[in-house]
Amino acid sequence: MSTLTTDVLVIGSGPAGASAALFLATHGVDHIVITKYRWTANTPRAHITNQRTVEILRDLGVEDDVLAQGTPQDLMGDTVFCTSLTGDEIGRVRTWGTHPARRADYTLASPSSNCDLPQTLLEPILIGHAAERGSRVRFDTEYLGLEQDEDGVTVTVRDRLSGHTYPIRAKYVIGADGGRSQVAKDVGLPFEGQMDLAGSMNIVFHADLSRLVEHRPSVLYWVLQPGSDIGGIGMGLVRMVRPWDEWLIVWGYDISGPPPAVDDAMATKIVHDLIGDDTIPVTIRSTSLWGNNKMYATRYRAGRVFCAGDAVHRHPPSNGLGSNTSIQDSYNLAWKLAMVLKGQAGPALLDSYDAERAPVGKQIVLRANKSIDEFGPIFEALGFTESDDPAEKIANMRARTENTPKAAEQRIALRKALELKDYEFNAHGVELGQRYSSGAVVADGTPEPEHTRDPELFYHPTTWPGARLPHCWLGRDGQKVSTHDLAGKGRFALLTGIAGQKWVAAAELAAKQLDIEIATFVIGAGREHIDLYDDWARLREVEESGCVLVRPDAHVGWRSWALPADPAGDLAAALARLLDRA
Ligand code: FDA
């Protein structure tokens, strides 16, 4: 029997693998996806879908599906801290950019809105469109091992239905097999950090809780119940899955002991305790256990094997970054693989995947873990750390309502502690502010622009090479289009102004020389793309005669301050460096 061959084998169909498949299919790259189970995720783990991810999916033409199925931003943000859903409300934080003062930041930064889309709904959108566009997807197919040589990788897989084991030969492999990645282990990727620092259980259930939440719609309700657990603080999370009748509770357990056997009775009791009303009918759908990790790979590539997603960054759900970052990893990798496979780029372009994404992985792992630590000041403000006795903790928490100097201090401390949670729930800079430095970015000799506001909380738009293309609305045929709508689509884009008209011919020449596609856009009065509000003129950071060269992943690859003597030569030289064609 002849060996099955393909250009790229994707292992896993979670957010990293399914999106890799969608990107490769859209770029016309021959590939196969294998995935262990019979279908996509069976529990709604990831849900916060940030603007960067939605605008990537916009590039792929599936934004409408995501927004149609997701819960909109308006219903995401009245995040509550309480003693139960029927109990005392301790405080609220406006989250996910819903504070009126933050809405402008989010609206100005991206053509796309964030939303809440459970993983159970996102994955079928990704894999469905991928299959429609040419992915060959093999469910019930398990990765067993691999061997690589100079020309390719031979992967051994098992059909879990028949038990049949067979090889697949690929030029490249993407290991997107999640937080316990066998692929990362087999190719020996180096990791820093620790796994399983704390234990959590997920309880998915149906219950109509509209009455308890409709006046404060949010995707997260944090419940503090000292004494309801063994040894810890007693904090649980009631998370909306579908408004307002499908929910997921995250509850802790002691990971140093044996894993708890969570039956329906135990799960129902936890649910009723956190709701604070045991008369509400509850149907338990599923329970599962998972570990909180603080681990990241310092290298994402071993030869022809690339890992993406949780395979290389493992962290708690805080900040909602896991699935988002996994999709963004694959978006970064896919166009590079496509161009190398089509002979449009040299192999060194693939080195930039590591260089660009590993620092992001480290950043989000540390950020998510810090966000867990930043619950500490809330516990301190509520007096939880003053005693081990649950009754005293509850009394300390209640004491904040008294008319005493100590209680007034407690209230100030609580306010500050809740404000600190902006770094978890409104970390717009972390979500959008990634600036790459690698061989696939050609510097223009200017220093990196300083962040004028907190870099984690606020996104700072810049066209500095390596940064994400700033968004603004342009006019075309009487309609509004984003600068991001000009970018992407698997090809380069060059943005210039009327005085930079000569870049069009320069780009045509460079594209011909390198056999690549460059879409050119002269933005200005009387042109196809009009700078409706002069926002592009304010954002572009180059002269009207300069240009901004945008990579297929909407990051700036190079820019020129003004029209040089030889624009075609300068552009071709920059592209040749970026694409390892020098
Ligand atoms: P993922 O684990 O999703 O997928 C791995 C894939 O590999 C699966 O398809 C599996 O079948 C396959 N596989 C594994 N072993 C295999 C083998 N040997 N052979 C073949 N296939 C194999 N993130 C976020 O962005 N926003 C959020 O709001 C949240 N919220 C959240 C809440 C909770 C409670 C949890 C536990 C997690 C989150 N996350 C999150 C994190 C998010 O779920 C996680 O980061 C992504 O699922 C990671 O996607 P991957 O595709 O990398 O792995």
Q: What is the 3-state secondary structure (H, E, C) of 213-242?
A: HCCCCECEEEEECCCCCCCCCCEEEEEEEE
Question: What string of H, E and C letters represents the secondary structure of 265-299?
Answer: HHHHHHHHHHHCCCCCCCEEEEEEEEEEEEEEECC
Classify residue 447: in a domain, yes or no: no
Once rounded to an integer, what is the mean pLDDT over residues 205-222? 98
Once rounded to an integer, what is the mean pLDDT over residues 316-345? 98
Distance CA 453, CA 455 (A): 6
Residue whose C-alpha is closest to residue 428's, from 91, 81, 45, 73: 73
* Domain count of the fold of the chain: 3
pLDDT in tens, 266-277: 999 999 999 999
Residue whose C-alpha is closest to residue 10's, from 314, 29, 325: 29
Give yes or no for a contact between 183 and 305, defined as CB atoms under 8 angstroms apart: yes
Same-domain pairing of 414 and 478: no
Same-domain pairing of 398 and 525: no
Classify residue 228: in a domain, yes or no: no
Q: Is the CB of residue 36 below 6 angstroms from any atom belonging to ligand 1? A: yes
Where a domain ends, among 370, 396, 428? 370
Give yes or no for a contact between 49 and 117, defined as CB atoms under 8 angstroms apart: yes
Same-domain pairing of 345 and 472: no
- For the beta carbon of residue 582, count every other beta carbon within 10 angstroms: 10
Same-domain pairing of 170 and 39: yes
- How much distance in Å is there from the Cα of 14 to the middle of ligand 1? 5
pLDDT of residue 227: 85
**Residue 382 belongs to domain spanning:** 376-420
Classify residue 79: in a domain, yes or no: no
Same-domain pairing of 354 and 398: no
Classify residue 121: in a domain, yes or no: yes
Check pLDDT > 70 for residue 561.
yes
- The CATH number that applies at residue 126 is 3.50.50.60
Structure tokens at 51: 């603007």
pLDDT, mean over the chain:
97
Closest-CA residue, ligand 1 atom 14, reads 177
Same-domain pairing of 182 and 133: yes
pLDDT of residue 2: 83
Ligand 1 closest atom vs CA 16: 51
Distance CA 353, CA 473 (A): 30
Same-domain pairing of 355 and 414: no
Q: Is the CB of residue 314 below 6 angstroms from any atom belonging to ligand 1? A: no
Same-domain pairing of 350 and 396: no
Classify residue 25: in a domain, yes or no: yes
Same-domain pairing of 506 and 566: yes
- 192: which strand partners? 296
- When pLDDT is cut at 50, 70 and 90, the band that residue 234 belongs to is confident
Where a domain ends, among 370, 403, 433? 370
Check pLDDT > 80 for residue 233.
no
Better-predicted residue by pLDDT, 2 or 54: 54
Q: Is the CB of residue 323 below 6 angstroms from any atom belonging to ligand 1? A: yes
63 sits in which H/E element: helix 63-69
Once rounded to an integer, what is the mean pLDDT over residues 488-516? 98
Where a domain ends, among 420, 453, 484? 420
Check pLDDT > 60 for residue 231.
no
- How much distance in Å is there from the Cα of 465 to the middle of ligand 1? 31
One DSSP character per residue, 120-162 reads HHHHHHHHHHHHHTT-EEESSEEEEEEEE-SS-EEEEEEETTT
* Residues 35, 40, 41, 47, CA torsion sign: positive
- How much distance in Å is there from the Cα of 92 to the middle of ligand 1? 29
Classify residue 451: in a domain, yes or no: no
- How much distance in Å is there from the Cα of 310 to the middle of ligand 1? 6
Percentage of residues in the chain having pLDDT higher than 90: 97
Distance CA 63, CA 52 (A): 11
Same-domain pairing of 362 and 387: no
One DSSP character per residue, 298-363 reads S--EETTEEE-GGGTEE--SGGG-HHHHHHHHHHHHHHHHHHHHTTSS-GGGGHHHHHHHHHHHHH
Classify residue 569: in a domain, yes or no: yes
pLDDT in tens, 346-368: 999 999 999 999 999 999 999 99
Closest-CA residue, ligand 1 atom 33, reads 45
Same-domain pairing of 522 and 395: no
Closest-CA residue, ligand 1 atom 4, reads 14
Once rounded to an integer, what is the mean pLDDT over residues 116-141? 98
pLDDT of residue 530: 98
pLDDT in tens, 417-464: 999 999 999 999 999 999 999 999 999 999 999 999 999 999 999 999
- How much distance in Å is there from the Cα of 323 to the middle of ligand 1? 7
pLDDT of residue 264: 96
Classify residue 453: in a domain, yes or no: no
Ligand 1 closest atom vs CA 37: 11
Check pLDDT > 70 for residue 152.
yes
Structure tokens at 322: 């896991």
Closest-CA residue, ligand 1 atom 39, reads 46
Check pLDDT > 60 for residue 61.
yes
Q: Is the CB of residue 118 below 6 angstroms from any atom belonging to ligand 1? A: no
Same-domain pairing of 563 and 504: yes
For tokens 């969608």, the residue is 22
- The CATH number that applies at residue 574 is 3.40.30.120
pLDDT of residue 1: 67
* Residues 541, 520, 502, 509, CA torsion sign: positive
